Amino acid sequence: MKIGFIGLGIMGAPMALHLVDAGHQLFVHTRGAVPDSVAASSATACGSAAEVARHAEVVFMMVPDTPDVEAVLFGENGVASALQTGGGARKVVVDMSSISPMATKAFAAKINALGADYIDAPVSGGEVGAKSASLTIMCGGDAAVFDRVRPLLEKMGRNITLVGGNGDGQTTKVANQIIVALTIAAVGEALLFASKAGADPSRVRQALMGGFAASRILEVHGERMIKRTFAPGFRIRLHQKDLNLALQGARELAVSLPQTAGAAQLMQACAANGMADLDHSALVRALELMAGHEVDRG
């Protein structure tokens, strides 16, 4: 197929390359320079999002936030300007960014009105999952359209679920980010408590991995906290954005999310201390600052 991919950051670049490796003809556009890995492939660099959409049957987007998606779709030389097919096959826009569920529904309606289809398909798994094509992909949209793009999604992820209509994929991603943030905070508090009490946090983590408290976050991010390896896989500032989406949605739905608000404040404390571009496991640093104690390496 002729595939478009817009947004070639730390997640988008490896995802796009999986499509190239699968034999698809790829047309790409990104803010700034095309990464060397993509430039060295058979992908064709385009000067605008509209140019990508003119060439492609399916256009993927992987950009940071809601305003970025809106600009890619509806800004000058945006995707929307090149979607009308004049009686040909309907093009499909697949947004793999993590953005507002409410905005997603509005974007999808506008794209549908132009005679094209829309799937929201945010992902979980970070840079590691993007590189290994093991992402979890949460989709919202029409079932027939989902079936059309699923073979492409399978080149980038493993656990791929159609949750419901447009916006439901983004709602699921927000729910995912709530769970991840709260679990990171719980692991941080547990390891800080253990360390301050004089126990070896490395051995505490090892013991907990054999019990009911075991989790992927305790395994991976707990180790990051102990070894102080906070190079970003998923940056605090991006997780902040996702928690803000959760809290914004909670206000609109008249739902109280007190633990989510607390985790958001811990990330804000990290950002205020110059740590917005560290991995989100560095949330433990906010707890450490309040305690005047760092989790020991063990």
- Which residues does the annotation mark as catalytic? 173
| 90 in Cβ contact with 56 (< 8 Å) | no
Separation between Cα atoms, residue 152 and residue 257, nearest integer Å: 35
Q: Phi and psi for 211 in degrees, rounded to 5?
A: -120, -165
CA 162 from chain centre, in angstroms, equals 17
| 3-state per-residue secondary structure call for 152-217 | HHCCCEEEEEEEECCCHHHHHHHHHHHHHHHHHHHHHHHHHHHHHCCCCHHHHHHHHCCCCCCCHH
CB burial of 3-40 (b: ≥16 within 10 Å; e: otherwise) equals bbbbbbbbbbbbbbbbbbebebbbbbbbeeebbeebee
**The dihedral sign for the CA sequence 35, 40, 43, 49:** positive
